[in-house]
Amino acid sequence: MDDNEKFISKWKPIHDKTMFKYVIRDSLICLLILILATIIILWIDPLSSSVNGLADGRAGMNGFILSNVSLFLAFTLGRAVKWFRGERRFKKIVNKEY
């Protein structure tokens, strides 16, 4: 089995999932996991009134939320880039075979 056949056998199920299911749905699942993890972390160790020497605990909460949003966006962009690269290679191989 050559490299193209291995790629097609691996990518075909992903291709059949469509972009919506591969990128959007999986990113939303990631977001739900982040939300649950945030709730659990805040429940176990609530932010104190002096986070990093600041008098306002909201500054720590804002940083925590910003890091979660950044992680979600990075995951979504990574999945989208992987999807488009895989689709481009898949279509190139399939069109070359016909």
Of residues 81, 74, 97, 84, the one with CA closest to residue 15: 84
Residue 5 falls inside a structural domain: no
Residue 26 falls inside a structural domain: yes
Residue 10 falls inside a structural domain: no
**Percent of residues, the chain, with pLDDT higher than 90:** 23
The pLDDT tens digits for 61-78 are 777 788 888 999 999 999
Task: Answer whether 0.85 is exceeded by the pTM.
Answer: no
- Between 52 and 23, name the one with better pLDDT: 23
Q: What's the confidence (pLDDT) of residue 49?
A: 44
Q: Name residues whose C-beta falls within 8 Å of residue 79's C-beta, 6 or more positions apart in sequence.
A: 22, 23, 26, 27
Residue 11 falls inside a structural domain: no
Residue 87 falls inside a structural domain: yes
Residue 81: domain span: 17-97
- C-alpha 55/C-alpha 24 separation (Å) is 38
Residue 4 falls inside a structural domain: no
Q: Domain tally for the chain?
A: 1
Q: Name residues whose C-beta falls within 8 Å of residue 19's C-beta, 6 or more positions apart in sequence.
A: 80, 83, 87
